[in-house]
Amino acid sequence: MKGSDIKKYLDDNGIKQTFVSEKTGIPAPILSMILNNNRKIEANEYMKICDAIGVPLDYFRPCSSKKKGA
């Protein structure tokens, strides 16, 4: 899972980074670094982001069934 996958999801769904930052408590500069693959995402940050945008934790896994069209 890459931050850029999350960024694409946010862009595709019209979700602002500021919303995610406010909802998760992750500072905007840190979130931006994560979404641009300039910083690794920590497990607790990933869980907060998934919760904030309403997706299951396995949503961004490369082999997730939703990406296989199942």
List per-residue pLDDT tens for the chain, 70 residues long: 789 999 999 999 999 999 999 999 999 999 999 999 999 999 999 999 999 999 999 999 877 555 444 4
CATH fold for the domain made of 3-67: 434 Repressor (Amino-terminal Domain) (1.10.260)
The pLDDT assigned to 70 comes to 43
Q: Where are the domains of the chain?
A: 3-67
State in Å, rounded, how far the first CA of the chain is from the last one: 19
The pLDDT assigned to 61 comes to 87
| This prediction's pTM | 0.84
Distance, CA of 8 to CA of 25 (rounded, Å): 20
